[in-house]
Amino acid sequence: MYPNMSNNYCCGGGGGFLQSGLPEARRGYGKVKLDQIMATGATYCITPCHNCHSQIHDLNEHYEGGFHTLHLWTLICLSLGILGENERVYLGEDLAEIGL
């Protein structure tokens, strides 16, 4: 993504804003990050924490981004072959049955 590293954009869900009760404002701030993700053309967006995952997943659904949002740990568990059937909610059809 560009910009990246220390110049990257925040998703807008951190610092307690995810639970603020102001979803339209939160989505407005997060639209910058969504546009950055959409510019990559990626099928999956890997997120490092729960707040990022919830925010980016919500942005994706609200603005119909069309990609899948995964926790980093989901990808790690999938690659190790230890991801349970009930933990595959956010996987697309291409990954949903790997390791079963």
**Average pLDDT per 10 consecutive residues for the chain, totaling 100 residues:** 91 87 93 96 94 96 97 94 92 89
Taking alpha carbons only, the member of 60, 58, 53, 16 closest to residue 36 is: 60
Distance CA 59, CA 100 (A): 30
Output the pLDDT for position 16.
Answer: 81
- What distances in angstroms separate CA 84 from CA 24, 57, 94, 96, one per listed residue? 34, 21, 16, 10
Indicate the pTM of the whole model. Answer: 0.90
**What letter represents residue 35's amino acid?**
D
- The domain locations on the chain are 5-87
Output the pLDDT for position 99.
Answer: 84
Output the pLDDT for position 9.
Answer: 92
